[in-house]
Amino acid sequence: MFDSCYQQVRQILVDTRHRAARSVNAEMVRAYWLIGQVIANQEQQGQERAGHGERLIESLSQRLTEEFGRGFSKNNLWYMRQFHIDYSEKLHALRGELSWTHYCLLLKVDNLDARAFYEREASEQGWSTRTLERQITTLFYERLALSSGQKAMLEQARSGSERHSPQEIVKDPFILEFLGLRETPALTENQLESAILSYLQDLLKGVEGPQVVLTDR
């Protein structure tokens, strides 16, 4: 009786963690797509001026970093711009299972067929960012295309893939920055979950997510 009760309660908590982590992921990826849209549109308005895009990115990076923290380096803003350009018609089709780090890795894949393959596999198989990066750098898509035993090769890769967990997602530096959390080794899962739930509650009310600074307990 007790074991059955415990397993039911445990499953509720596990499911809730998954949903909370995916919700924050989806909102962050959506926000970065929209930021990329603003940058691309502004760039087009000033396209006749040489270096306009670089100056825009540099100025935005400086101002946003001063107010919101480390998540707005020039390099990350360039990724947001490219993210919108490459996924300009796919805002509602973005995969909520994939983090911003997943998408940054996918943007490095020039072959669009290969990118679509990695995106689908990473989403459906729950690949961690480490697994996705390894498959890209070892040219798994190209090797698979040349293989005579594609099915077996794909099954082997799937069985040996590292899956991402809710804990991995919420401890991603990009997520911490997005939530306004200070990265600290003493940050507990309970603190992270509380911050995420507070963020989602405010989001549902239509207000900006909280800027939370946690202290060690």
Q: Are 56 and 43 in contact (CB under 8 A)?
A: yes
Residue 78 reports pLDDT greater than 90: yes
Q: Structurally, how many domains does the chain consist of?
A: 1
The reply to whether 179 falls in a domain is: yes
Please tell me the predicted confidence (pLDDT) of residue 18. Answer: 73
Its domain, for residue 165, covers: 2-204
DSSP secondary structure code for residue 98 in this structure? S
Distance between CA atoms of residues 186 and 217, nearest Å: 8
The reply to whether 102 falls in a domain is: yes
Residue 108 reports pLDDT greater than 60: yes
Over range 146-152, report the average pLDDT.
82
The reply to whether 129 falls in a domain is: yes
Residue 119 reports pLDDT greater than 80: yes
Q: Which long-range contacts (CB under 8 A, 24 or more apart) does 175-179 make?
A: 175/24, 175/25, 175/28, 175/99, 177/68, 177/69, 177/70, 177/71, 178/24, 178/27, 178/28, 178/31, 178/71, 178/209, 179/24, 179/209, 179/210, 179/212
The reply to whether 217 falls in a domain is: no
Q: Which residues contact 96 (CB under 8 A, 6 or more apart)?
A: 22, 23, 25, 26, 29
The reply to whether 214 falls in a domain is: no
Global pTM reads 0.73
